[in-house]
Copies of this chain bind each other. A is one copy, B any other.
């Protein structure tokens, strides 16, 4: 049962309603309400889009927000490719297993860990850029791209647009690299569909684990894990039922998703693929 959320409500009532949607169990959030918090807590992934194009001004704004995120040592080790061309989008969708949201969204952003730029800068100064050869630098590029992308998501949602992350482009990063003409040292981390949400395909806010499961104080403790997962299975079952989705316990979903090599849908070769794409991963 979704709590009533008056669209024009603000303040404590609205904050409590947002927390109730997100957790479906008691969760106090004792701060002041503001518009930014409302945008963040209201997030839902959008898989049904109207055909209207995304204004170029919204993309510029999203990129400015993305660039405003922190970057490790200000290396800015990421880039983005914005794809509107339908044929290119369809070819990329084949990599991702033909998802409805990619077929419908007028814009697909591919977020890249970009070590080609620092590598070229090093080369200009006569250096091989040896530090880039390590797992640490790959991870740095991935983190930079993720922080940037999340800021873009928040900015786009504040403008009334919807988004959905597409991890499935990692099913075949080599095919994505070919399609986008990526140079050596650039890795496609994830995609992001963007568009105006179709009100006829509206998704609700997905419940998450209780805060006690993810937030530890001073040291990591795991004694409460079992109890919290049972209540979360129930919360997610309610959500699935309301959304007319097939019902499955979250714990079973997790087992299915990570239980076998086959469940990774080709991503078990990601390390070898990254090496082919110019990341030695030492």
Contact = CB atoms under 8 A, between A and B. Distances in A.
A36 B60 CA distance: 16
Nearest to A232: B76
Interface stretch (A1-9, A97-105, A148-156, A194-202): A148-156
A97 to B, nearest CB: 13
Contacts of A31: 55, 57-58, 60-61, 159
Count copies of this chain in the complex: 2
The residue in A35, A70, A128 that gathers the most chain B C-beta atoms within 10 A of its C-beta is: A70
The residue in A84, A155, A213 that gathers the most chain B C-beta atoms within 10 A of its C-beta is: A155
A1 to B, nearest CB: 20
A65 B79 contact: no
Interface string A1-44: 00000000000000000010011000111111011110111110
Nearest to A40: B65
A72 B166 CA distance: 8
Nearest to A74: B206
Interface string A163-199: 0110100100000000011110010011000000000
Interface in A90-141: 112, 114, 116-118, 120-122, 124-125, 127-132, 134-137, 139-140
Contact of A36 (B36, B114, B257): B36
Contact of A70 (B76, B88, B143, B165): B165
Contacts of A60: 27-31, 211
A140 B155 contact: no
A214 B131 contact: no
A14 to B, nearest CB: 13
B30 A118 contact: no
A270 interface: yes
Contact of A257 (B131, B170, B216): B131
A114 B209 CA distance: 14
Contacts of A19: 64
B81 A220 contact: yes
Contacts of A244: none
A249 to B, nearest CB: 10
